[in-house]
A and B are shown apart, each in its own frame.
Chain A
Amino acid sequence: MFKNHLKIALRILLRNKVYSFVNILGLAIGVSACLVIYLLVSFELSFEDFQPDRERIYRVTSGFKGQQGENYYNPGLSAPMPASLAQEISGIEYLSACHVWSARTSLPNDKKDGKNPAKIWKNDNSEVLVCQPEYFKIFNYEWLAGSPKTALTTPNQVVLSQTEAEKYFGKIPLAQVLGKQLYFNDSLATTVTGVVKDFPVNSDFKFKNFISFKSIEAKNWRKEFQLDQWTNTNSSSMAFVKLTQNAKANTVNAQFPAFLKKHLDQKDEWNNGRMLSLQALSDIHFSDTLQDNFSRQVHLPTLYTLLGIAGFLLLIAAINYVNLSTAQSITRVKEIGVRKVLGSNRKTLVIQFLCETFIITTLAVFFSVLLVEPILWIFKEFIPKELSFNVLSPNILGFLGIITLGTCVLSGLYPAWMISAYQPVSSLKNQVSSGGQTRTALLRKALITFQFTASQVFILGTIIVATQSKYMLSKDLGFKKDAIVNFHTDWNDVNSNKKNVLIQKLKQIPEIAIVSLGETPARNGYSTNRVTYKEGEKEIKLDVHRRTIDENYIPMFGIKILAGRNITNSDTAKEFIINETYAKALGFKKPEQAVGHFLVYSGGKGDYKLPIVGVVADFHLQSLHKAIQPLYMMSETKYESAINVKIHSKGQSSTDFKTVLAKIEKAYKEIYPNSYEEFSPHFFDESIAKFYEKEERFAKILNTATGVAILISCMGLFGLVAFTTQQRTKEIGIRKVLGASVMQIMQLLSKDFLKLVILGIFIATPIAYWAMNQWLQDFAYRIDISWWIFTLGGIASITIALISVSYQSVKAALMNPVKSLRTE
């Protein structure tokens, strides 16, 4: 019986090639979108879930009460805290202080041997960790050589991960790696005392070099790692804990205020606002507020949005199936009549139709599996590189099974139920009407409307995101950004005179117009200082953004001076320039009123009271997500390491840029021949574009989702129109005989579908308006959602629908009526 079902199902698929194709392709696209999103979401959600006792592992993190009621959070804590925490806080089983260290590694023998160039590995932030032996009691590593009991107990020891050991020493037995020497930053000599297995890919803990904490307790290192600084909080300096079996995070958190009170100087009001709290291990991968420099954070709402998109795409594809198969079923009433007369009951018929759906779904799933790798490739820039697709893994097979059965039931059950309901007598007499307001026709209309509503929401979202992106990139930021290149001088040489020599050299390059010192006007991240304005009774203390600049800075970036004058160059701060927002915050109605007043800020050596010499027009200090904040600028060339170069406006082709960059690099290398830092210049406009990477990625996801939604919906529409025209062939013939023109026939066929599309547009409009308004709330500076967006979206939708309808309707309208009517 089942074999019979399959045979019939296959024949029917082959006979109706257009419908089968539309069904299979539509479902395949929907399923592959689901599959890729499942891969991505399940990968991200699986982070650290291999870790035993993971629900007991936490990171101790810092918070600060900001002045304007805003809190700031830092995943690190002051370096001396961990030692005291371990002793004073109850409920902690193990605690390890950890320092993320971006140190270079070198092998000693390479250095001695003059023939070989020194072998140096540049490690990024996620590779070197200074930690205590407890780290290996908190996190469960598999030891391949050495012992956790002794490995990090004394200074100058290092434990390597297996891949790192192989990178340094090649593929030798791991036992032989023990005892080998390694240098970090040329100055910390270590001996390898253990090798552990690397964590699986679904972990943010990618550290490969574990240096014993005792190594940095020596005097010179103490200072570098600020081990005695209770006031600084550096995100690289962290503490991980494993709580005792019965301890609760709440009870541990409750002990922190008293701890801070005991250790921090309460006279400093800054310390009043400090907080500590536990962050669960499972939160590290998803935290919005705690951004450290080793883990990759994933935006959880984005994942949920993706899941939603996946569901929608699958639903739209399933709708195609329901629509096409219910429409097509009309042609099968006779078969059903015969089967019923011959003794088939409804259940067998339902099973038969579900068999057909099952074959289509299985084929669709098969094709979707083939589509996964290409899709992963297209989106490679924001799919984690560790993510891999293995069809045969039990998770994937399970998911595919569920998707196949789910889609099969979702799209097959209703048509099967509906088709099998035909009464045998009327089926045989062919008296089942194809048109009219039957329940099925109504359902079909509702489903098409739904599809186009979803597509329209996607279209509107795409237009709005694109408009906002364009707005962000083209908005007048209050400064010039074109043909400006920035780079940093060697960090190790910030205080020397070398950078001034470099500046002089750069000025001699004819293509360079101006050179200036100072961080770019708008940048990622920020640094603020507490600045006080005190005159008479009035005292205004604010956290103010700052830029250290030189006299070329304001002319170079084309920043407008509203009152007063430009800054004069100085090694240490002598005077201030502030922005308009700050002037207003200080209560000056006009910019010129601020000039001549004094501000006090706390520097390294006490308080400085300096005059305001100028007020500049507001320019954007950060991305357009953030509103413009108060700003002061001063000249302190001694400590500034960022160099900006403006290239002459003539001859700015990309090859010209290349030669200028080459000249700049040559000058840089001459001044810093031994620099370990790579010379990495950035074009300022590109750096600004990078502020909006997240939006760009979102736009790409949305564009794709829109494309897929439209494609699937239009395929459904195409198939349905193909079917209706086939059903209405005779009617079209009659109408042509009676004098209908081609245009009139096309109108007739398109009208019904267009009505549904237009209805979809109207339903989608408020939904899209609401959703995109939510999204725009992320931006301090944003576009207005204006009527033209909806008009454009509507026109786009109608045009697309018309195109997919027109092929079939033109074909039908051009058909020779003699052929259509020759049925007798």
Chain B
Amino acid sequence: MLKITDLEKIYRTEDIETVALNKLSLEVKKGEFVAIMGPSGCGKSTLLNIIGMLDDAEKGSFMFNGEEIIHFNERRRADLRKRNIGFVFQSFNLIDELTVYENVELPLLYLGVDAAERKQKVEAVLEKVQIMHRRNHFPQQLSGGQQQRCAVARAVVNTPKLILADEPTGNLDSTNGNEVMQLLTELNEAGTTVIMVTHSEHDARFAHRIIRLLDGKVVMENILG
């Protein structure tokens, strides 16, 4: 699905250079569930942003579905992103002014899907994450778990090939956290590739493989049974 070779990313401020990714290489196969772990500042989020095509790297290669995309411009990256990748964030990142239904509908709107198909897809996915009954509520009226389920629904509504989850349970209690992890596992079992950044060993065990980062490098890989 994606292959990263010798990726480098450096953040510069006026007098400090921070190496976020240091010649990092990584491969993720189609249908895999990968957890990325490591201490704060090890480059987890940077890596996820680059994989999510939200950020670009200085050097290295990034093959996505067999295509080199490291030199893609913003517009082409955005286009590739909205067709292939769904995002789940720690802080949910739902839009406060939109209802649950409207939040989930948003990616389809940007893909130009027609109204009838949108309705059908959104309702299907809301059923799946079991918040159909709250479809007309605003995010602030929901519990944390419900919000994250809504965010997951939004991430998968356009059936992306890859889901990127950035500490999806970080803001949730264990019951709600488990529900969300269950949801991600089901999606993975249905064929979606999942890459998840997490601090939680518990959550990481849901994955097939754990990649551990330190100082912008992969230091260890655990393959789970």
Contacts and interface: CB of A to CB of B under 8 A. Distances in A.
A433 B89 contact: no
Interface in A731-753: 731, 733-741, 744
A781 B93 CA distance: 64
Interface stretch (A520-528, A623-631, A813-821): A813-821
B91 A824 contact: yes
Contacts of B54: 737, 816-818
B209 interface: no
Interface string B46-86: 00010010110000000000000000000100100110000
A132 to B, nearest CB: 82
Nearest to B111: A739
B82 A738 contact: yes
Contacts of B140: 431, 433
B107 to A, nearest CB: 5
A730 interface: yes
Contact of A731 (B52, B90, B97): B97
Given A744-B110, A818-B55, A823-B91, A736 B97 contact: no
A739 B93 contact: no
B91 A739 contact: no
Nearest to A821: B93
Interface string B94-111: 111100000000110011
A334 B17 CA distance: 34
B18 to A, nearest CB: 14
Given A730-B93, A731-B95, A734-B95, A740 B55 contact: no
B154 interface: yes
Given A818-B54, A818-B55, A740 B96 contact: no
B87 interface: yes
Contact of B81 (A735, A739, A744, A821): A739
Nearest to B164: A737
A822 B54 CA distance: 12
Nearest to A433: B96
A821 B111 contact: no
Nearest to A435: B97
Contacts of B97: 435-436, 731
A154 B75 CA distance: 98
B78 A738 contact: no
A737 B74 CA distance: 12
Contact of A435 (B55, B87, B94, B96): B96
Interface in B163-216: none
B110 A738 contact: yes
Interface in B89-142: 89-91, 93-97, 106-107, 110-111, 140
Interface residues of A, number: 23
B28 to A, nearest CB: 20
Contacts of B75: 741
A737 B87 contact: yes
A730 B96 CA distance: 10
B93 A734 contact: yes
* From B54, B89, B106, residue with most partner A Cβ within 10 Å: B54
Given A436-B97, A817-B54, A818-B54, A739 B110 contact: yes
Contacts of A435: 96-97
B107 A738 contact: yes
A450 B41 CA distance: 51
B167 to A, nearest CB: 8
A43 to B, nearest CB: 53
A730 B90 CA distance: 14
Nearest to A739: B82
Interface string A795-824: 000000000000000000000111001111
Question: Which of A735, A738, A824 is packed against the most chain B CB atoms within 10 Å?
Answer: A738
A327 B176 CA distance: 36
Interface string A435-469: 11000000000000000000000000000000000
Contacts of A738: 82, 87, 106-107, 110, 154
A655 B176 CA distance: 91
A744 to B, nearest CB: 7
A821 B106 CA distance: 17
Interface string A702-739: 00000000000000000000000000001101111111
B104 to A, nearest CB: 10
Nearest to B110: A739
Contacts of A735: 95, 106, 110
A824 B92 CA distance: 11
A730 B154 CA distance: 16
A196 B59 CA distance: 93
Contacts of B91: 823-824
A816 B56 CA distance: 11
A494 to B, nearest CB: 83
B157 to A, nearest CB: 10
Given A733-B93, A739-B110, A818-B55, 13 more contacts: A731-B96, A734-B94, A734-B95, A737-B52, A737-B54, A738-B106, A738-B107, A739-B107, A740-B110, A741-B78, A744-B110, A818-B49, A822-B45
Interface of B: 45, 49, 52, 54-55, 75, 78, 81-82, 87, 89-91, 93-97, 106-107, 110-111, 140, 154
13 contacts: A431-B140, A433-B140, A435-B96, A731-B96, A734-B93, A734-B95, A736-B78, A737-B81, A738-B87, A739-B78, A739-B81, A821-B89, A823-B91
Q: Which are the 6 A-B pairs with shortest beta-carbon distances? A: A739-B82, A739-B110, A738-B107, A435-B97, A818-B54, A734-B93
